[in-house]
Every structure is written in C-alpha cells, then in structure tokens.
Chain A
Amino acid sequence: MEREPQPPGEVARIAPETDSALVARTLAGDRAAFGVLVERYAASVRRVARAVLGDPDDADDAAQDGILAALVKLRHYDPGRPFGPWLMRVVANAATDRRRRRRVRHTEQLDPGLVAGGTTPDVETDRRALGRRLREALAQLPERRRLAVVLFDVEGYSHAEIGRTLGLPEGTVRSEVFHARRALRAMLEDWKEEA
C-alpha cells in the first residue's frame, strides 16, 4: 500500500514523494529522504510496536530498533512491493524480539508494585480509561491476532498485505481480524455498560 504523506512536519515539507522514490534516494545516500520516510511512518510503527509490547517506552525502543533494522536491510527491499507492510513486518519482528527478551527478564524479577500489593489512584478521564481497557483487551489476544486487527482496522492494510507482513494465508488473517474484533467489541460493550 503506497501511503499518502502524513501531515507535513519539518522534514516532510521537502516533497510529497512516493515511498519507493524515497527508498531509492535513501539508498543513493540521501539522508533527508530517509528522514521523510521515518516521519511518514513514525506514528504507525509506534502503534504497531505498542500493540505488541503494551509499554510505550518499550514500544518506542522496539520501533526505533525496527526502523534501524529496516535501514540496514533496505537493499533487500523489493521496490515492486509496497513499503509500508515491509516496514511493519520488520518493526513487528523487532517488537516481538523485545517482548521475548522482556519476558525472560520479567521471570527473573517481580514487579515491586505487585509485591507490595499497591494500586494507583484512578484519576484518568473516560477517554483514557477506555484506551487503557482497550490496551488490556488487546494484550489478552494472541500476538498475531492483535497485529492483524491493528494492521487492518488502524493502519488500513488489506488482508493480503497483512498476510505477507505476518507470513500468514489471507484467509487466516481474515479469521484473526474477525476474532479480534469480536473480543474487542465484547470488551467495549462491557465498558459501556459499566460507564
């Protein structure tokens, strides 16, 4: 999926070029072109990484790792295919790797808050509360289901593109999106009733 440029920032003002043109310029040594690509996809890769990891700081670290990994692998990118799904795959892999490392770390170390049995006062707005509930609901989904629904309903990729991104058959992606939606809807209905 060739993306339209995001709202322009300092870097994106250079030119509304296609992703493949920007990739070609990056490979030719144009740092500004790489900057435009990073700016264009920053919000998406951060969301995708957060869908995998939950924690926003971890997600940003993973998103950065993914972007830099994509830069290293840029010569292997096939310009005949859309850049977005390719980048999302690299970022999702980076996030998954980080989650695995984090899981190992967490088995070694208990959360001090849990040990103390403490809770934090809930001073968030409804909007924030909804966001938190959604993130919690997402976290309960299997990872590929989570990624499938985020890539489909948030990032707007097609089932086929998501299939290539996640290495799944298109029919499996459809099924994952469906099941994810059903679970998230149920959560949202509960939340509405509570509200």
Chain B
Amino acid sequence: MTRDTTPFDHRPDPVLGSALREALAADNDAAFVARVLAQAGRPAEAHWDVLAAWARAGIAAAAVAALIAGILVGRGMSAASSTPTASVDELLAAAAGPSGALVTSPQPPDASVLLVSAEER
C-alpha cells in the first residue's frame, strides 16, 4: 500500500494484502478441516461420484482380501485331500448286510428283496 498502483499494476500490494488477510482470517482451521472431512464422509450426503470411487476402492480391497483368503483355504484343502483315503466303491464293498449288496450290484434289485430289506429295519 506504500506505492501508487495503476489499473495495469500486476504486483500484489503486500501491506494491504496483509491487513486484509488478518481482517478476513478465521480461527482454528484444523477444526474447520475436521468438520468438512466429517461431512464429506457422511453416507447420507450425495457428494459422491467421488465417494463411489472411494467405495469402489474399498470393494476392490475387500475382493483382493477375499481372493487371498480363498487361495489360502484352497491350499489347505488340497493339502488335506492329498492324504490316501479309501474310495467309495471300497467302502461300499466293505459294507455288510443286504443293503450293501443292493447298492453295489450292477443289476436292478427284485422288488421282494427291497420289501424284505425294508421289513428288516
């Protein structure tokens, strides 16, 4: 403000600028920032083309986590299934009694056998 300016002066006036800055200054920028960020995070507000992107980022992170979890579970299961176990046929053949024979036979059973088998129970 100490120099004479013209409409074509492109230099800021530091004295006037400083006085105006002080006159217009507001207290506690940190509280203001916190308030704005809290408002921006409210799901009910409709700010969100951008929030949708934030949500997409969250979904992507959750998907990656699920994928990793799936891989780990899959590895665990394949490790468990690699131990030798009896086949289904072997288990059925080992089953005793008429019901076991019925299941393993390639021929359809006689109806009377089925009835007898039911009566036995």
A interface list, Cβ under 8 A from B: 9-11, 26-31, 34-35, 38-39, 42-43, 46-47, 50-51, 56, 59-60, 63-64, 67-68, 71-72, 74-75, 127, 130-132, 134-135, 138, 149-150, 152-154, 156, 158-159, 171, 174-175, 177-178, 181, 184-185, 188
If A35-B37, A127-B22, A158-B10 touch, whether A74 touches B50 (CB-CB below 8 Å) is yes
Secondary structure class of chain A's binding surface, majority of residues: helix
Q: How many residue pairs between the two chains, A and B, have CB atoms under 8 Å in the bound complex?
A: 135
- The chain B residue with its CB closest to the CB of A127 is B22
A46–B53 contact, CB under 8 A?
A: no
B50–A150 contact, CB under 8 A?
A: no
Q: How far is the CA of A59 from the CA of B33 in the complex (A)?
A: 14
- The chain A residue with its CB closest to the CB of B20 is A154
CB-defined interface of B33-55 with A at 8 Å, one 1/0 digit per residue?
10111011100011111100111
Mark the stretch among B11-19, B74-82, B107-115 that contacts chain A: B11-19
Q: How far is the CA of A113 from the CA of B1 in the complex (A)?
A: 36
- Least CB distance from A55 to B in Å reads 11
